[in-house]
A and B are shown apart, each in its own frame.
Chain A
């Protein structure tokens, strides 16, 4: 290499300190238009969203999904027509493309019939975790190919809605075990199902007890406190965190109330309106999942959960068999997630990774 020749290393490209310029006073440049370009590109490509609903049968999971997306995603099971209960936990996924105002959304809903229905529910979370890890594995395999696709199909579970039965007391051991394991791998949003069986006071008490339980067992549900990036996020998210878990009621039938057609459940003592904030908190759940935090859910899944999976997988790849279905994500497993959890960190990705042990090629 000729010593006189100075081919700049990448570091020299950041040699000079950035100077800030404001273009406004000098005239129009047009950098803003990049936002429109982004929008156009996004609309063309469409969005993907994968949601998983977990809970015992009869808690209204299918109805809830139907209500969320206002369409018949699932055929909700009626008592008489119910198929015989599956003996083991199976996962059942359905994909639909829905469109609204030019925005296409490819929605995948995964249901877990048979969860918690057996007499012995030990390790009933294993198939669920296995499914989640299988999706990560699929994405990872696509990502490390030499010739990879332009757009890797994203089947990773972005959000898992956990239905807590409305006992009114506290979280059951099954719930705790499941939540502990799942929070490490995916964004979990717990909801109180069939909230119409609780009065408002019972609801609040139940909610507080659940929140205490979650805190005692250090289960971080979405929106995770440690991922709040700036003060706006913190304010917004702490409002949400106060109300978690939402008490929801699902309904896909419409009734006439005061001359309006509303979705609701008709009972002898009144009609419970699903979209009425005074009756239940379904609008909050819908807003969280779809209207305001959908992109955030996807981001956290991609930047944090997937990266964690990737780290573990790549580090132990010589010990593990190649392939999907790696399931052993027990609470006390690897030091990486649990060890550095306590300390809050600045950026989202830095959060769960320890420093200074990255391996280069």
Chain B
């Protein structure tokens, strides 16, 4: 017990101001952890004040990325301003005014300043405001921004993802270039800004500000801001919640939209070379705060609020997009009976549904295919049968013809024979008139020979009669004597 008291006293002598706190904390030791965390004081230097430095070191290792989208008409000075902002000559050529549609052109650069590496992506609109019909001008821009969000969402929803080294291509800031007419916002500008304000941080700038005088500029700015407010366009306001930068941000908010001049040409003013534009009536210095708001823009955009812009993009615009997209797909946080649904369950349900659907479709296709095949088969069989029938028919016809012809031939032959018989008989008849009786003997002898012989005899006789040397031949005939004619 004594040691306990001693220890307590010893400890007390070293804590700074919170004795009561410590003792109450000791007695509260058994409290549940769900209470809000209590503050402790330490009796010595622990060393985690280096935590921000650790964080910064890691970020330096990783590198930063920043994506700027520049929207403005052709020739308004977008590329020049970017060049001036980052002090580098990025792109070369001017773009033409004759594109049929608005396109976006994105280029990536790696900048390094001391030990900070920045992956900068500049997206320019090409052909904005050049068309005669500008109804579709802002759609490509909205599509591009959505596409970047979509890519990030896809990566985040993968099962095996690597967000750690994913190159973030979401647009962090949109510089909207307003042409310095001095009057008011154009309808196209209003429309475009309205469709972009919920997707990206918009910073409107008045381009080519050396075309307006100071007084006109003031009026113009007021007019612009009031128009934006009255149309409900949400532009990006610099954050004023952190004390260190609240004041400067607040004052800058009052200067929106910034009137900027861009130039990479150097002109000698006084005894140094500054970036400026040279006119016959004077020199407009880019970095002179009296001449234009370029320095303010650079400070706000890069030096003070780059991290906040990225943060806003991630936590506000991206989350909004994500929520809309997922709700569109049918996912909800709370189910029909107010039971919390998990994304996973919904996803599984959807996946089953999808597979079921696919199965069904496959079945259908299969059925259709089988049916078609059957039909075709039937048709072919039919055709085959027909062909066969024809063939048979033809064959039959052919055979019949043949039979008939045979028949006819036979008849004809018979006729011929009959005719020849007749002829023979008549000849014999004729011959019998000058035939000798001596031949009768022979006739009798021959009569005993076969009867078939007789017919042939007749034929020969006929032949013999026909020739002039009739008798001789008849005697010489192999058959011998003549047979008597018919009875």
A24 interfacial by beta-carbon distance below 8 Å: yes
- Residues of chain B lying within 8 A (CB to CB) of residue A32: 113-114, 116
A103 touches B52 (CB 8 A): yes
Kindly state the separation between the CA atoms of A165 and B4 in the bound complex, as whole angstroms. Answer: 27
Q: How far is B165's CA from A39's CA once the two chains are assembled, in angstroms?
A: 21
Say whether, besides A42-B51, A72-B11, A7 and B40 are in contact (CB < 8 Å).
Answer: no
Neighbouring A residues of B61 by C-beta, 8 Å: 229
Q: Mark B162-175, 1 if CB is under 8 A from A, else 0.
A: 11110101000000
C-alpha gap A148/B151 in the complex (Å): 19
A interface, size bucket: 35 or more
Find out whether the CB atom of B86 lies under 8 angstroms from the CB atom of A23. yes
The reply to whether B169 and A4 form a contact with Cβ atoms under 8 Å apart is: no
How many residues belonging to B are interface residues under a CB distance threshold of 8 Å? 107
Do B40 and A35 touch across chains, with their CB atoms under 8 A apart? Answer: no
- CB contact between B47 and one of A13, A40, A290 (< 8 Å): that residue: A290
**Contact (Cβ within 8 A) A5 B140:** yes
Give the segment of B300-308, B427-435, B454-462 that binds chain A.
B300-308
A358 near B159 with CB under 8 A, answer: yes
Is A294 a contact partner of B51 (Cβ separation < 8 A)?
yes
B41 touches A33 (CB 8 A): no
Within 8 A of A (CB), among B324-361: 326-327, 329, 331-333, 342-345, 348
Q: How far is the CB of A349 from chain B (nearest CB, A)?
A: 5
Decide yes or no whether B7 CB sits under 8 A from chain A: yes
Whether the pair A75, B26 counts as a contact (CB closer than 8 A) is yes
Name which of A174-182, A187-195, A237-245, A307-315 contacts chain B. Answer: A307-315
B245 touches A40 (CB 8 A): yes
Asked if A8 and B147 make an inter-chain contact with CB atoms under 8 angstroms apart, the answer reads: yes
Q: List the one stretch of A88-96, A113-121, A198-206 in contact with chain B.
A: A88-96
B185 within 8 A of A: no
B11 to chain A, nearest CB (A): 7
Partner of B299, one of A30, A47, A150, A229: A30
Contact mask B76-113 → A, CB, 8 Å, 1/0? Answer: 00000000011110000000000011011111111111
Q: Kindly state the separation between the CA atoms of A106 and B40 in the bound complex, as whole angstroms.
A: 10
Q: In this assembly, does A141 line the interface, its C-beta being within 8 Å of a C-beta of chain B? A: yes
Q: A141-B342, A311-B159 are in contact. Are A72 and B40 (CB under 8 A)?
A: yes
Find B100's partner among A4, A96, A318, A357 (CB 8 Å cutoff).
A4
Partner among A19, A20, A42, A361 whose Cβ is within 8 Å of the Cβ of B154 = A361
Flag A277-320 by CB within 8 Å of B: 1 or 0 each. 00000000011001111111001000100010011001101100
Q: Are B169 and A37 in contact (CB under 8 A)?
A: no
Whose C-beta in chain B lies nearest to the C-beta of A291? B47
Q: Does A71 contact B160, Cβ atoms closer than 8 Å?
A: no
* Chain B neighbourhood of A348, CB < 8 A: 164
Give the CA-CA distance A261 to B23 in the complex, in Å. Answer: 23
Q: Is B42 an interface residue (CB 8 A)?
A: yes
**Shortest beta-carbon distance from A44 to chain B in Å:** 6
A42–B52 touching, CB < 8 Å: yes
B31 to chain A, nearest CB (A): 9
Q: Does B326 lie within 8 Å of A146, measured CB to CB?
A: yes
Whether a CB of chain B sits under 8 angstroms from the CB of A100 is yes
B237 at the A interface (CB under 8 A) = no
Tell me, yes or no, whether B279 is within 8 Å of chain A by CB: no
Which of A41, A70, A287, A311 has most B Cβ within 10 Å? A70
Quick check: B162 and A347 within 8 Å, CB to CB? yes
A71 touches B43 (CB 8 A): yes
Given that A18-B108, A35-B60, A72-B22 are known contacts, is A349 also in contact with B299, CB under 8 Å in the complex?
no
Contact assessment for A296 and B58 in the assembled complex, using a CB-CB cutoff below 8 Å? yes
Across the interface, A97 reaches (CB within 8 A) one of B37, B52, B327, namely B37
CB pair A95–B33 under 8 Å, yes or no, is yes
A5 vs B348: C-alpha distance in the bound complex, in angstroms? 37
CA distance A322 to B104 in the complex (A): 45
Known contacts A8-B144, A40-B244, A290-B48, A311 near B40 by CB under 8 Å:
no
User: Which residues of chain B are near A287, meaning CB under 8 Å?
Assistant: 47
A356 to B85, CA, bound (A): 41
B118 contacts A31, C-beta separation under 8 Å:
yes
B29 contacts across to A, CB distance below 8 A:
74-75, 94
- Cβ contact of A10, chosen from B151, B157, B304, B333, cutoff 8 A: B151
Q: Which residue of B lies closest to A283 (CB)?
A: B47
**Most chain B CB atoms below 10 A, which of A34, A141, A311:** A34
Chain A residues positioned under 8 Å from B85 (CB to CB):
29
- Chain B residues contacting A292 (CB-CB under 8 Å) are 50, 54
Verify A24–B40 contact, CB threshold 8 A: no
A54 at interface by CB-CB < 8 Å: no
User: Scoring A residues 67 to 85 as 1 if CB is less than 8 Å from chain B, else 0, what string do you get?
Assistant: 0111111110010000000
User: What B residues does A146 contact at CB under 8 A?
Assistant: 322-323, 326-327, 331-333, 343
Within 8 A of B (CB), among A111-140: none
Q: Are A34 and B307 in contact (CB under 8 A)?
A: yes
B37-75 vs A, CB cutoff 8 Å, 1 = contact: the mask equals: 111111111111111101111111100100000000000
Does A350 belong to the interface (CB within 8 Å)? yes
User: Are A14 and B41 in contact, CB atoms less than 8 angstroms apart?
Assistant: no
Residue contact A18 to B147, C-beta cutoff 8 Å: no
Closest chain A CB from B61 CB (angstroms): 8
Closest to A33 in B: B303
Q: Is the CB of A290 within 8 A of B160?
A: no
- B450 at the binding interface (Cβ < 8 Å): no
Looking at B11, B44, B46, the one whose CB has the most chain A CB atoms below 10 A away is: B46
Report B-chain residues with C-beta under 8 Å of the C-beta of A293. 54
Give bound CA distance, A360 to B121, whole Å.
Answer: 26
B51 & A295 in contact (Cβ 8 Å cutoff): yes
Q: Is A231 an interface residue (CB 8 A)?
A: no
Which residues of B have CB within 8 Å of A4?
A: 100-101
Given A72-B25, A98-B40, A150-B315, A360:B158 Cβ within 8 A: yes
When distances are taken between beta carbons in the complex, the residues of chain A under 8 Å from B308 are 37, 41
Task: Please name all residues of chain B whose beta carbon is closer than 8 Å to the beta carbon of A101 when the two chains form the complex.
Answer: 49
**Which of B41, B55, B136 is the one whose CB lies under 8 Å from A71?**
B41
Q: Which residues of A contact B140 (CB under 8 A)?
A: 5, 7-8
CB distance from B393 to the nearest CB of A (A): 59
**CB-CB contacts below 8 Å: A137-173 with B:** 141, 144-148, 150
* A34-B160 contact given A23-B87, A97-B38, A147-B323, CB 8 Å threshold: no
Tell whether B10 is near chain A: CB-to-CB under 8 Å.
yes
A–B Cβ pairs within 8 angstroms, 15 of them:
A4-B101, A13-B121, A13-B148, A18-B110, A20-B109, A30-B303, A39-B52, A71-B43, A93-B33, A95-B38, A103-B51, A106-B37, A295-B54, A348-B164, A353-B160
Q: A-side interface residues toward B, CB under 8 Å? A: 2, 4-10, 12-24, 26-35, 37-44, 47, 49, 68-75, 78, 93-103, 105-106, 108, 141, 144-148, 150, 229, 252-254, 263, 286-287, 290-296, 299, 303, 307, 310-311, 314-315, 317-318, 322, 347-350, 353-354, 357-361
Q: Which chain B residues have a beta carbon within 8 Å of chain A's beta carbons?
A: 4, 7, 10-11, 14, 22, 25-26, 29, 33, 37-52, 54-61, 64, 85-88, 100-101, 103-114, 116, 118-119, 121, 123, 136, 139-140, 143-144, 147-148, 150-151, 154, 157-165, 167, 169, 242, 244-245, 298-299, 302-308, 311, 315, 319, 322-323, 326-327, 329, 331-333, 342-345, 348
Given contacts A40-B244, A96-B37, 18 further A-B contacts (CB under 8 A): A16-B106, A20-B110, A23-B87, A24-B113, A29-B302, A30-B303, A33-B303, A34-B64, A34-B306, A35-B56, A38-B59, A71-B40, A95-B38, A100-B47, A106-B37, A314-B159, A314-B344, A348-B164
The 6 closest A-B pairs by CB, nearest first: A295-B54, A37-B307, A13-B106, A33-B303, A30-B303, A95-B37
